[in-house]
């Protein structure tokens, strides 16, 4: 097995120290491939893969994925060519929100195994040269966390200020804040006659970061896992840890816009991030990536600017949220908005900011079902087109489990098929109260629900797709597993999986794709997304036909294509002329 370093060395040799112009240091300056690879941190040149442990691989037949299962599948990630794995919420939890309600930050969830299983996972990942990133849910804990049990027990308990407690106002909640999962964000607790704040479920009370004791407890948790060798952390709800204080009612306008935008306006966010970084200074290379949901661009830029020593990067959701309203309603998406978002998310004019690029994660439905073709004959081709975009933009690409085989949405027809608190609560709030007809809610939810991306990983064509031996996995396997699975795609040259493997190899052999500048050249083309990536070794042009119709694209006169780097229509010949014809959903990278 080649190690990651050896793999890069090999590429560097074959690329013959090609000069390139990374823009990461401001003004262009020529450096060799070798020096780029060795001077940039791994999280700039690398690719991250997200595992949703509950659905990745079950090893003991209980219908839930686990650490031994993940360990047994690390070779899949190795052969894909990724550099790091983000293990989604995996700590001890009563699972009110599938692990995003942590009962003990220093224990692995018993559903997923023991600390010994985790340690074996870490050791195997190290052997395979794959780094591990853990998911830190620090905006809130579980109501079953010892801190909260203490906190709610009496008004003068030493843990009382670990959470936000407020008196009732006019006999009701202290403010009009809604909870992300329906109802009020305040829950009355009769033991002490006060309300506590929970941005998410009632079982997810928000931690009070104003209290330095809370912060230091959480920083100690980071050091605990860093000592176990993890390479970084993804911070859940990162923008919400600092609260807008003093609490007041949101205005109607604030309530109408995404309420989370208001919740991320707390004044002390940068201070907390800086303090968190300083508190983990024994591990200066830790990669910190925040979930920037709700945070405006300028706040994200400040938090990830490398001079500020806060986060390294943050997920931005501006584009991902554009076609979902109120957490369930599906709206048409727009290619122009994708182009606009990418343009302002490439940051190639800012040497201090490095983006993370993704079109799928555990909180959204499958990208091929959202942004790809609805025609079955173009499904795989559009999955490959999306891969071409994901792996040719500037920023760290995040591949979500199953995306690399083109997993698509589940055919949900009834509310009982879901396993998501958000779906159940909205059903109660909207359908059971008669505000929205059941059929309308179900039809929209089937398209937008995050459970679409949480169905078990499809490994092979055996029963339950090789995910579990249990006939009842925690969420049903997508019936398309007979066609869409790792084993069959690994054998097929033209599969989505083979395409991902090729693309990843190509990205790693062409530093211009990683560090080069980005320039949108689509003009006002309605269905084609075209951009160029440039470095001193030349220019690459990416052409993406987001349509069931063929089209043609006139290349800029300054670009004379010499070769096709990759084509998602293997049998289709790409024309290297000034005007390039493209088949439906065809994607090309030219050089």
User: Per-residue string for binding with ligand NOJ, 346-385, x by CB under 6 A?
Assistant: ----------------xx----------------------
> Which residue of 137, 241, 276, 540 would you call a contact of ligand NOJ, by CB under 6 A?
137
Give the number of residues written for the chain.
591
Is 135 or 489 the residue whose CB approaches ligand NOJ more closely? Answer: 135
DSSP class of 169: B
Is 34 among the residues known to form the active site?
no
Question: Cα angle vertex 321, ends 47, 512, to 5°?
Answer: 30
Question: Cα angle vertex 334, ends 396, 325, to 5°?
Answer: 90
Which residue among 101, 291, 361, 489 is the active-site one? 291
Contact 451, 457 (CB under 8 A): no
Sheet-wide strand order for 287-291: 313-315, 287-291, 232-235, 131-136, 84-87, 48-51, 396-400, 356-357
CA torsion 130-136-142-144 (nearest 10°) is: 60
In the complex, least distance from residue 449 CB atom to ligand NOJ, rounded to whole angstroms: 12
Is 83 or 236 the residue whose CB approaches ligand NOJ more closely? Answer: 236
Contact 478, 410 (CB under 8 A): yes
Distance CA 136, CA 218 (A): 9
305 belongs to the binding site for ligand NOJ (CB under 6 A): no
> Which residue of 130, 237, 389, 423 would you call a contact of ligand NOJ, by CB under 6 A?
237
200 belongs to the binding site for ligand NOJ (CB under 6 A): yes
**Residues binding ligand NOJ: what is the number (CB under 6 A)?**
9
Q: Do strands 329-330 and 324-325 pair parallel, antiparallel, or not at all (unpaired)? A: antiparallel
> Which residue of 58, 83, 236, 310 would you call a contact of ligand NOJ, by CB under 6 A?
236
Distance CA 254, CA 15 (A): 53
In the complex, least distance from residue 521 CB atom to ligand NOJ, rounded to whole angstroms: 34
> Which residue of 58, 83, 92, 97 would you call a contact of ligand NOJ, by CB under 6 A?
97
Nearest to 551 by CA among 514, 513, 525, 578: 525
In the complex, least distance from residue 298 CB atom to ligand NOJ, rounded to whole angstroms: 22
Is 141 or 373 the residue whose CB approaches ligand NOJ more closely? Answer: 141
In the complex, least distance from residue 476 CB atom to ligand NOJ, rounded to whole angstroms: 19
Is 201 or 497 the residue whose CB approaches ligand NOJ more closely? Answer: 201
Query: Which two structure tokens, joined as six digits, stand for 456?
Result: 């078990």
Nearest to 445 by CA among 473, 460, 461, 425: 425
Distance CA 506, CA 488 (A): 23
Which residue among 111, 236, 380, 451 is the active-site one? 236
Is 460 among the residues known to form the active site?
no
Q: Which residue has the CB atom at the shortest distance from ligand NOJ?
A: 100
Is 361 or 404 the residue whose CB approaches ligand NOJ more closely? Answer: 361
Nearest to 107 by CA among 97, 94, 96: 94
Task: Point out which residues bind ligand NOJ (CB under 6 A).
Answer: 97, 100, 137, 200, 236-237, 291, 362-363
Catalytic residues: 236, 291
């Amino acid at each position: 097995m080649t190690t990651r370093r050896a793999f890069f060395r090999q590429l560097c040799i074959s690329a013959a120290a090609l000069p390139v112009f990374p823009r990461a240091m401001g003004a262009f300056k020529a450096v060799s491939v070798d020096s780029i690879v060795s001077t940039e941190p791994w999280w700039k040149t690398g690719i991250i893969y997200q595992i949703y442990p509950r659905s990745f691989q079950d090893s003991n037949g209980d219908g839930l994925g686990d650490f031994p299962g993940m360990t047994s599948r690390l070779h899949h990630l190795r052969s894909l060519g990724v550099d790091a794995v983000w293990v989604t919420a995996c700590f001890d939890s009563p699972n009110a929100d599938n692990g995003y309600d942590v009962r003990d930050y220093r224990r692995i969830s018993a559903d997923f195994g023991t600390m010994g299983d985790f340690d074996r996972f870490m050791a195997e990942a190290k052997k395979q040269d794959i780094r591990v990133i853990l998911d830190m849910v620090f905006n809130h804990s579980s109501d079953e966390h010892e801190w909260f049990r203490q906190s709610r027990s009496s008004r003068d308990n030493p843990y009382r200020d670990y959470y936000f407690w407020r008196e009732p106002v006019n006999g009701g909640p202290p403010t009009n804040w809604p909870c992300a999962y329906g109802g009020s964000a305040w829950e009355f607790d009769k033991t002490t006659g006060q309300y506590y704040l929970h941005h998410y479920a009632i079982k997810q009370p928000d931690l009070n970061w104003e209290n330095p004791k809370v912060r230091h407890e959480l920083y100690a948790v980071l050091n605990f896992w860093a000592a176990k060798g993890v390479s970084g952390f993804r911070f859940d709800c990162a923008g919400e840890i600092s609260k807008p204080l003093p609490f007041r009612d949101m205005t109607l306008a604030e309530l109408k816009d995404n309420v989370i935008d208001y919740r991320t306006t707390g004044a002390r966010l940068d201070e907390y991030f800086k303090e968190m970084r300083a508190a983990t200074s024994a591990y200066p290379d830790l990669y910190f990536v925040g979930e920037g949901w709700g945070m405006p661009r300028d706040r994200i830029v400040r938090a990830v600017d490398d001079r500020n020593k806060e986060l390294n990067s943050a997920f931005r959701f501006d584009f991902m949220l554009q076609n979902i309203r109120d957490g369930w309603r599906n709206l048409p998406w727009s290619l122009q908005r994708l182009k606009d978002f990418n343009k302002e998310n490439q940051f190639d004019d800012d040497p201090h900011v490095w983006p993370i690029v993704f079109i799928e994660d555990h909180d959204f439905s499958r990208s091929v079902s959202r942004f790809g073709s609805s025609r079955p004959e173009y499904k795989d081709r559009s999955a490959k087109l999306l891969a071409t975009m994901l792996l040719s933009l500037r920023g760290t690409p995040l591949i979500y489990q199953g995306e690399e085989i083109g997993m698509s949405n589940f055919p949900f027809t009834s509310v009982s098929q879901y396993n998501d608190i958000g779906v159940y609560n909205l059903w109660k709030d909207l359908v059971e109260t008669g505000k929205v007809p059941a059929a309308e809610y179900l039809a929209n939810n089937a398209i937008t629900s995050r459970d679409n991306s949480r169905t078990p990983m499809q490994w092979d064509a055996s029963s339950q797709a090789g995910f579990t031996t249990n006939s009842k996995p925690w969420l049903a396997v997508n019936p398309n597993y007979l066609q869409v699975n790792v084993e069959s795609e690994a054998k097929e040259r033209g599969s989505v999986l083979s395409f991902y493997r090729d693309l990843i190899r190509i990205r790693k052999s062409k530093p211009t794709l990683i560090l080069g500048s980005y320039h949108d050249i689509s003009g006002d083309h309605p269905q084609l997304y075209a951009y160029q990536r440039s470095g001193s070794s030349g220019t690459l042009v990416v052409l993406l036909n987001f349509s069931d119709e063929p089209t043609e694209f006139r290349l800029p006169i300054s670009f004379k294509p010499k070769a096709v780097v990759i084509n998602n229509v293997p049998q289709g010949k790409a024309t290297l002329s000034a005007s390039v014809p493209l088949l439906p959903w065809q994607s090309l990278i030219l050089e």
